[in-house]
Amino acid sequence: MPKGAHTNEEMRKSRQVREMFGSIAARYDLLNHLLSGGMDRRWRRACATEVASRLEGVNPRILDIGCGTGDLSMDFPRPAWVVGCDFCGPMLEIGCAKIRAAGRSGQIALLEADALMLPFADGCFDAVVSAFVLRNLANREQGLSEMRRILRPGGIIGIVDFSMPTAPVLGALYHYYFFRILPRLGKLISGVDGPYRYLPESVGNFPGPDDLRPRIESAGFTSVEYRLLTGGVAVLLLGIAE
Ligand SMILES: C[S@@+](CC[C@H](N)C(=O)[O-])C[C@H]1O[C@@H](n2cnc3c(N)ncnc32)[C@H](O)[C@@H]1O
pLDDT 10s digits, 132-189 = 999 999 999 999 999 999 999 999 999 999 998 988 888 899 889 888 998 898 888 8
Q: What is the pLDDT of residue 3?
A: 56
C-alpha separations of 119 from 125, 126, 190 in Å: 12, 16, 32
Q: What is the pLDDT of residues 45-102, one digit of tens each?
A: 999 999 999 997 778 999 999 999 999 999 998 889 999 999 999 999 999 999 999 9
For the ranges 8-12, 66-70, 109-113, the lowest mean pLDDT is seen at 8-12
- What average pLDDT is seen over the chain? 93
Tell me what the mean pLDDT of segment 203-227 comes to: 96
On the 0-12 / 13-18 / 19+ scale of CB atoms within 10 A, 228 is middle
Question: How many Å lie between the centroid of ligand 1 and the Cα of residue 5?
Answer: 19
Residue nearest to atom 26 of ligand 1 (CA): 68
Question: How many Å lie between the centroid of ligand 1 and the Cα of residue 130?
Answer: 8
Query: Atom of ligand 1 at shortest distance to CA of 44?
Result: 8
Q: Which of 1-15, 48-62, 111-125 has the highest mean pLDDT?
A: 111-125
Q: What is the pLDDT of residue 2?
A: 47
Question: How many Å lie between the centroid of ligand 1 and the Cα of residue 113?
Answer: 10
Residue nearest to atom 14 of ligand 1 (CA): 66
**pTM to 2 decimals?**
0.95
* Residue 233: CB atoms within 10 Å: 20
User: How many Å apart are CA 199 and CA 181, to the nearest integer?
Assistant: 12
pLDDT above 60 for 192: yes
3-state secondary structure the chain: CCCCCCCHHHHHHHHHHHHHHHHHHHHHHHHHHHHCCCHHHHHHHHHHHHHHHHCCCCCCEEEEECCCCCHHHHCCCCCCEEEEEECCHHHHHHHHHHHHHCCCCCCEEEEECCCCCCCCCCCCEEEEEEECCHHHCCCHHHHHHHHHHHEEEEEEEEEEEECCCCCHHHHHHHHHHHHHHHHHHHHHHHCCCCHHHHHHHHHHCCCCHHHHHHHHHHCCEEEEEEEEEHHHCEEEEEEEEC
